[in-house]
Chain A
Amino acid sequence: MREVAVIGGGMTLFRRRLLETGKELSYLATKMAMEEAGIEKQDIDMVVLGSAPDAFDGIHIKGDNLVDGCAAAGKPYVRVFNGGGTGVFAPIAGWWHVASGVADVALVVCEEKMGSCYPHPQTAFRHIWDPILDRPLNPNLVWLFAMEMNRYMTAHDIKKEDIALVAVKNKRNAVGHPCAQLADPNITVEDVLNSEMMAWPVQRLDISPPSDGASALIYCSKDKARQFTDEPVWVAGTGWTIDSTMWTNRDLYFPQYVANAAKMAYKMAGISNPFKEIDIAEPYDPFDYKELHHMEGLLLCDKGQAPILTREGVTQRDGDLPVCPSGGLLGVGNPIAATMGQKVCELYWQLTGKAGKRQVPGDPRVGVGQAWGDIMQMGTVIVLRK
């Protein structure tokens, strides 16, 4: 496999609804990434699009609808998606285009437009459930998270106060992010605990919002990297694993499939002690407990220990292991696939010292990003290193 460098990233504003079409948002994010990398459309060999369920946009096979915005007209192009896992899976797919040698320069675009769906994007989520056993019960997607959160809390005797700390940290971290939808410099644990009860144990401020937005990332091969940049960041490892669809046949307290994906990525990156060797983590945080659940899945700590690290301040921006310094999905927003902006672009910006007000101190060198999707079964992991 060839070594692959990241040379540019871009992101649009994340908001509940944006005026621009998905195509236009893809263009805006891509254009920013191209400017950072210092390349033009003709320099791009191949394009990967990540976008989650069609039902949000209401445009089926939306990959072809977005082509022009993705600088892909006339080029090899493929869309990949595995629900929430897409934000890290699309950059994994972009990586293999260059690692395999079939492309020298590859562009990854991730787009989501959830605001078009009425009365609420939740309505579109109804279409992902099993039609025989689940849909007759009129499920809401929040139930899944509530059931997993409850199982996790019960298995380790975790208090809601400790989980709320994650929402507080991430919404405060997002204050330095120009694209952020829900940044809040003054939010407290009490605010989270007093917010509206949605589906116990999930409350309003435990959840990231639905959003419109797009993000983009540009890769190039090692032999071309010096042409574009003096400070390349390398893809050191990638991993992805899916578990069975039968989520009522396993214990939800630990995401084994995330651990399997992490092991695959760490092996490739030569990482044997993730907590010591990783400087920044961007685990997928659509809900506050998910950051903790995924820190454990990423083997950054033992099972049940993530709330303790959080309480002790280890995961703060200036802690020993900053977690979600971008502000995460909880603070910046959750346009599903486009969260590549927080989970992968952010690592690139942090490792190159370009994260501005969000910059993690101490010259971070290794970062791990992760996403999670389908029906509580998909883990996608990427390790970047400078």
Chain B
Amino acid sequence: MAKKQAMPKSAPGTHVSTKDIVNKKIAYTWWEPEVQYSWSVGPAMSRFLEELKNGKIVGRKCRKCRRVIVPPRMFCEHCYGPTDEWVYLKDTGSVETYSISYLDADARRIKEPILVGVVSIDGASPKHGFMHYFGGMKPEELHIGMKVKAVWKPKEEREGSIRDIIYFEPVKKGGRKK
């Protein structure tokens, strides 16, 4: 039997280095889109964001699957029917997972790391929470399962945004509010 041709039999394509671009060795064209968006957030998130302004976290209860859901939605994606009622949750929870990031949103390097992760919110069903920052601790103190509490912006500075919570910090020993 004839020897088979190894595949892929070649690697067509021409590599371009950053130097080639900087030195204008290759022809290129450029475009910077200027576009902006404004999203209406819908009934569920309107209430959620409004309650954040009041310093409260709310979820929705689905009686059929007995979930208390946060972030809230007006329909349950499992039961595929309407959720039934609003439920006030605590502003405490536990760290479900986290990262210590030395990258900003454009993948640029930063010196002071961002502590970020998912918080499971107390009063909601297990594993139900949202992404947020952590603070008020050293990076090495952060761990999965850690009990945390929301640190809110001063009331007059809140604007109905997830950023009305500045970050989640460790629950103080003794469990009392400071």
Contacts of B151 in A (CB 8 A): none
A244 at the B interface (CB under 8 A): yes
B22 at the A interface (CB under 8 A): no
A226 to B103, CA, bound (A): 53
A58 near B33 (CB under 8 angstroms)? yes
CB distance from A120 to the nearest CB of B (A): 4
A199 near B15 (CB under 8 angstroms)? no
Cβ-neighbour of A17 out of B9, B15, B108 (below 8 A): B15
- Of A25, A132, A178, A212, which is in contact with the most chain B CB atoms at under 10 Å from its CB? A132
B13 near A12 (CB under 8 angstroms)? yes
B12 near A355 (CB under 8 angstroms)? no
A251 to B15, CA, bound (A): 41
- Of B71, B98, B128, B144, which is in contact with the most chain A CB atoms at under 10 Å from its CB? B98
B163 near A136 (CB under 8 angstroms)? yes
A154 to B45, CA, bound (A): 32
B39 near A131 (CB under 8 angstroms)? yes
B107 near A213 (CB under 8 angstroms)? no
Contacts of B8 in A (CB 8 A): 9-11, 32, 178-179, 341, 345, 349
Q: Which chain A residue shows the least CB distance to B128? A: A249
Q: Interface extent on B, as a size class?
A: 35 or more
B102 near A197 (CB under 8 angstroms)? yes
Contacts of B11 in A (CB 8 A): 11-13, 178-179
Q: Which chain A residue shows the least CB distance to B130? A: A248
Stretch at the interface among A61-69, A70-78, A140-148: A140-148
Q: Which chain B residue shows the least CB distance to A151? A: B97
Contacts of B21 in A (CB 8 A): 17
A209 to B68, CA, bound (A): 40
B104 at the A interface (CB under 8 A): yes
A353 to B96, CA, bound (A): 46
- Residues of B103-127 whose CB lies within 8 A of A: 103-108, 113, 116-118, 127
Contacts of A227 in B (CB 8 A): none
Interface contacts (Cβ under 8 Å), in number, total 177
CB distance from B19 to the nearest CB of A (A): 11
A352 to B31, CA, bound (A): 45
A17 to B19, CA, bound (A): 12
Contacts of A196 in B (CB 8 A): 102
Q: Mark interface residues in A123-156 (1 if CB within 8 Å of B CB, else 0).
A: 1001000011110111110110011101100100
Contacts of B131 in A (CB 8 A): 133-134, 137, 139, 143, 248
Q: Mark interface residues in B13-56 (1 if CB within 8 Å of A CB, else 0).
A: 11111100100001000010100010101000100010000000
B163 near A15 (CB under 8 angstroms)? no
CB distance from B9 to the nearest CB of A (A): 7
B69 near A249 (CB under 8 angstroms)? yes
Q: Which chain B residue shows the least CB distance to A252? A: B97
B4 near A137 (CB under 8 angstroms)? no
A356 to B97, CA, bound (A): 42
Q: Which chain B residue shows the least CB distance to A250? A: B127
A132 near B102 (CB under 8 angstroms)? no
CB distance from A6 to the nearest CB of B (A): 12
Q: Which chain B residue shows the least CB distance to A201? A: B99
A142 near B9 (CB under 8 angstroms)? no
Known: A10-B8, A122-B106, A137-B132. Is A199-B118 also a contact (CB below 8 A)? no
Contacts of A179 in B (CB 8 A): 8, 11
CB distance from B29 to the nearest CB of A (A): 10
A196 to B13, CA, bound (A): 30
Contacts of A244 in B (CB 8 A): 77
A148 near B102 (CB under 8 angstroms)? no
A354 near B6 (CB under 8 angstroms)? yes
A58 to B29, CA, bound (A): 12
A197 to B21, CA, bound (A): 28
CB distance from B86 to the nearest CB of A (A): 17
B162 at the A interface (CB under 8 A): yes
B103 near A142 (CB under 8 angstroms)? yes
Contacts of A212 in B (CB 8 A): 13
CB distance from A41 to the nearest CB of B (A): 18
- Residues of A265-306 whose CB lies within 8 A of B: none
Known: A133-B131, A142-B101. Is A151-B96 also a contact (CB below 8 A)? yes
A2 at the B interface (CB under 8 A): no
Beyond A136-B162, A249-B69, list 6 extra A-B contacts (CB 8 Å): A13-B15, A137-B162, A143-B116, A178-B11, A249-B129, A354-B4
A sample of 30 cross-chain residue pairs with beta-carbon separation below 8 angstroms, ordered by A number, consists of A12-B12, A13-B11, A13-B14, A13-B15, A17-B15, A17-B16, A19-B15, A32-B9, A119-B108, A120-B106, A123-B105, A126-B106, A132-B39, A132-B162, A133-B130, A136-B162, A136-B163, A137-B132, A137-B133, A140-B104, A142-B99, A143-B99, A146-B101, A147-B116, A213-B13, A248-B118, A249-B69, A352-B4, A354-B4, A355-B7
Q: Which of B's residues lie within 8 Å of A, judged by CB?
A: 4-18, 21, 26, 31, 33, 37, 39, 41, 45, 49, 69, 71, 77, 96-108, 113, 116-118, 127-133, 139, 144, 161-163
Q: Which of A's residues lie within 8 Å of B, judged by CB?
A: 9-13, 15, 17-20, 25, 28-29, 32, 36, 58, 115, 119-120, 122-123, 126, 131-134, 136-140, 142-143, 146-148, 150-151, 154, 178-179, 196-202, 212-213, 244, 246, 248-252, 341, 345, 349, 352-357
